[in-house]
Amino acid sequence: MTLAWLGSLSPRPVVLSAPSPPEECLRRLAAVTTSSSYLSWHLDARNRGNPEPSFRGQVGPRDISVAGFEDASGRSSFAVWLKATAEPAGDAGTTLAGTLGMVLTARIVVAGLAGVEGLIALVAAIALLASGRVGESLLAVPVLLVPAALIVTVRAYCRRVLDRRIPVLIDQVNDVLGSTAVSQAATGNRG
């Protein structure tokens, strides 16, 4: 049940089309991307006077994994990440195909916290029932609802983050590359 509740937090597909060749797209992205955290970047004296990077992440020979620099500042598990590959397009441009979403740890944290809390409450209820304290075991029922409330709350927060930040991240990448979104599932599955 928990995994179904988290399903709409799965990465959403995206395809961007850029007019430049892959090497140029990767060069442009790398020029505005850092692997440093927000605090580390600002504390590094070499960055004094330089504009903040646009993205935090990695830009490799074909693979891209970036999030908005400020969005990924310390709570990068809950930031929206673009994970894509840059492939040559037939018109001397580039197709970036990949996904937009939160890293898996955000979904695991939600499921793990709720699961542990629910398991503790269930064990306590069973122990109370086994000892013949039926009335007290009924007190565990509201406690069993806490994991569900936690899942609903964190899921709603994550959905809001995805719905708000995916278009922003696409716009940031489009600004750097001069690209356009060919297709995207920015709203995801509402189920």
pLDDT > 70 in the chain, percent: 82
Count of CB atoms within 10 A of residue 119's CB? 12
H-helix or E-strand spanning residue 141: helix 140-177
Check residue 186 and give its pLDDT. 46
Task: Say if residues 26 and 33 touch (Cβ distance below 8 Å).
Answer: no
Encode pLDDT of 12-25 as tens digits.
899 999 999 999 99
Q: How confident is the model at residue 189 (pLDDT cuts 50, 70, 90)?
A: very low
Six token digits for residue 97: 């195909």
One-letter amino acid for residue 153 of the chain:
T
In sign, the C-alpha dihedral spanning 88, 174, 182, 9 is: positive
Check residue 188 and give its pLDDT. 43
Task: Say if residues 177 and 89 touch (Cβ distance below 8 Å).
Answer: no
User: Where are the domains positioned within the chain?
Assistant: 2-184
User: Exposure pattern of 15-28 as b/e (b: 16+ CB <10 Å)?
Assistant: ebbbebebeebbeb
Alpha-carbon distances of 146 from 111, 113, 133, 154, rounded to whole Å: 13, 10, 22, 12
Encode pLDDT of 111-156 as tens digits.
777 777 777 777 877 877 788 777 776 776 676 777 777 777 877 8
